[in-house]
């Protein structure tokens, strides 16, 4: 097999080699059925067992929290930005948002299309390079939910603790950090994530939420935009993204085999430390973008002295087999996305490359 790229793509992103190889082995003939999982009816027992297994694994990795259900949806996390207010933002209530970066911005923008919103806290005045103070959230009495973005993929900041919201359901967009660390899901009314960063390929969005939230009846929105439709039909009201769900199940199997979320967290902390330490010890040659306290374990954003030097860094890195180190077009700079499936060896190779680059250009 050819050498694998050092893949630091932000999303779609690296998948575990073991998972890809397993999928390859059963690609044409899925477990003796004489067809690919992609060629099967989603109403058949074979697909349904994969579908249910993925749901069970998602909950098992979270310690089987009581009263929670898993849904598989389409349209990406971006569609959740609209579905959340459509389902939960009733007349006379307010959707509250913690503004932490580009994705929180997009989530708020969609909510404004449906009802009243408020900003509970914001770090916009600091270009979103930190997580705002969570001890003094401004929540109106009529707050329907508080929405947070647990990890801002573009800016590279991540919640280190979650806000206390009392009776107000906490909803988190965990698209870029779900399962990167041990998480107490009981704090949340709902978490959601597009799969293509930390859970699998694109095409499926995972929602994990309290069953009573999902069961709420909303009549004046299309059937496919109601959580209750998916809950009632075990996410099989219409054709699910069956291949993506299968891949998510395999990624979850891999996480379990590696030792679950505790092991993921430990490895992610080691990987991130390798790169952040390199940045901090470079004497200012590399500069981390985010406030150190709020630095993301998943998206490591940093800058060089000039845009020219950053361009050169990207170019030279590509020659050495590194992929995806250019920062998001909206903020520039450099970004290494170190999701669960990015091996320690890739991070070590990047840290070494950064060292050499500094020696040549510092």
Ligand X SMILES: *Cc1c(COP(=O)(O)O)cnc(C)c1O
The 64-93 contact track toward ligand X, x by CB under 6 A, reads: ------------xxx---------------
Q: Which of 339/357 has CB closer to ligand X?
A: 339
Q: How far apart are CA 312 and CA 291, in angstroms?
A: 25
Catalytic residue among 90, 126, 141, 173: 173
The least CB distance from residue 29 to ligand X, in Å, is 31
Torsion of CA 84, 295, 312, 360, to 10 degrees: -170
Q: Binding site annotation covers 10? A: no
Q: Binding site annotation covers 254? A: no
Q: Phi/psi at 123 (nearest 5 deg)?
A: -120, 25
The yes-or-no answer on residue 254 being catalytic is: no
Q: Binding site annotation covers 80? A: no
From residue 137, alpha-carbon distances to 121, 133, 148, 266 in Å are: 6, 8, 12, 31
Q: How far apart are CA 293 and CA 72, in angstroms?
A: 34
Q: Binding site annotation covers 301? A: no
The answer for residues whose C-beta is within 8 angstroms of residue 259's C-beta and 6 or more apart is none
Can you spell out the DSSP letters for 229-268?
Answer: HHHHTTT-SS---HHHHHHHHHHHHHHHHHTHHHHHHHHH
Answer for which of 97, 103, 322, 339 binds ligand X (CB under 6 A) is 103
The 176-195 contact track toward ligand X, x by CB under 6 A, reads: x-----------------x-
Nearest to 48 by CA among 37, 59, 35, 63: 37
The yes-or-no answer on residue 133 being catalytic is: no
Does position 128 interact with ligand X (CB under 6 A)? The reply is no
Q: Which of 143/149 has CB closer to ligand X?
A: 149
Q: Which of 157/354 has CB closer to ligand X?
A: 157
Q: How many residues sit close enough to ligand X to count as binding (CB under 6 A)?
A: 12
Answer for which of 143, 153, 268, 338 binds ligand X (CB under 6 A) is 153
The least CB distance from residue 171 to ligand X, in Å, is 12
Restricting to residues 131-150, name those near ligand X by CB under 6 A. 149
* Tokens (6 digits) for 338: 């170190």
Torsion of CA 307, 311, 313, 319, to 10 degrees: 180
Q: At CB < 8 A and 24+ separation, what contacts does 217-220 make? A: 218/86, 218/87
Q: Which of 297/351 has CB closer to ligand X?
A: 297
Nearest to 362 by CA among 293, 302, 283, 267: 283
CB-based closest residue to ligand X: 76
Q: Binding site annotation covers 103? A: yes
Restricting to residues 2-41, name those near ligand X by CB under 6 A. 11
- How many Cβ atoms sit within 10 Å of the Cβ of residue 126? 11
Q: Binding site annotation covers 239? A: yes
Q: Which of 77/146 has CB closer to ligand X?
A: 77
Q: Which of 189/201 has CB closer to ligand X?
A: 201
Q: Binding site annotation covers 78? A: yes
The yes-or-no answer on residue 197 being catalytic is: yes
- How many Cβ atoms sit within 10 Å of the Cβ of residue 161? 8
Q: How far apart are CA 14 and CA 8, in angstroms?
A: 7
* Tokens (6 digits) for 253: 């199997």
Catalytic residue among 106, 141, 161, 197: 197
The least CB distance from residue 9 to ligand X, in Å, is 11
Binding site for L-glutamate: residue ranges? 43
User: Would you tell me which residues interact with ligand X (CB under 6 A)?
Assistant: 11, 76-78, 103, 149, 153, 173, 175-176, 194, 197
Active site residues: 103, 173, 197
Binding site: residue ranges? 43, 77-78, 103, 153, 173, 196, 238-239
């Amino acid at each position: 097999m050819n050498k694998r790229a050092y893949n630091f793509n932000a999303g779609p992103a690296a998948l575990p080699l073991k998972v890809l190889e397993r999928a390859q082995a059963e690609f044409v003939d899925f477990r003796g059925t004489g067809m690919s999982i992609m060629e099967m009816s989603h109403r058949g027992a074979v697909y349904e067992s994969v579908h249910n297994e993925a749901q069970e694994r998602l909950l098992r990795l979270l310690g089987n929290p009581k009263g929670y259900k898993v849904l598989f949806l389409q349209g990406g996390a971006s569609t959740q930005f609209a579905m959340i207010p459509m389902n939960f933002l009733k007349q006379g209530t307010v959707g509250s948002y913690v503004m932490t970066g580009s994705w929180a911005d997009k989530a708020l923008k969609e909510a404004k299309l449906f009802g009243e919103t408020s900003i509970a806290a914001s770090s916009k005045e600091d270009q979103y390079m930190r997580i705002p103070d969570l001890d003094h959230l401004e929540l109106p009495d009529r707050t329907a939910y508080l929405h947070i973005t647990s990890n801002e993929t573009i800016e590279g900041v991540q919640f280190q603790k979650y806000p206390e919201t009392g009776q107000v359901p906490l909803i988190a967009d965990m698209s870029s950090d779900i399962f990167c660390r041990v998480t107490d899901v009981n704090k949340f009314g709902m978490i959601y994530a597009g799969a293509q960063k930390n859970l699998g390929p694109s095409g499926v969005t995972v929602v994990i939420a309290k069953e009573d939230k999902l069961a709420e009846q909303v009549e004046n929105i299309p059937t496919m935009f109601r959580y209750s439709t998916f809950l009632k039909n075990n996410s099989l009201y219409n054709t699910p993204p069956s291949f993506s769900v299968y891949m998510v199940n395999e990624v979850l199997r891999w996480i379990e085999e590696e030792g679950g979320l505790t092991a993921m967290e430990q490895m992610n902390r080691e990987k991130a430390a390798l790169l952040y330490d390199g940045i901090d010890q470079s004497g200012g040659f590399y500069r981390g973008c985010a406030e150190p306290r709020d630095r993301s374990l998943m998206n490591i954003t940093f800058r060089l002295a000039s845009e020219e030097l950053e361009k050169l860094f990207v170019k030279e890195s590509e020659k050495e087999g590194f992929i995806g180190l250019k920062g998001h077009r909206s903020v520039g700079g450099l970004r290494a996305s170190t999701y669960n499936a990015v091996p320690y060896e890739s991070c070590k190779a990047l840290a070494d490359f950064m060292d050499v680059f500094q020696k040549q250009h510092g």
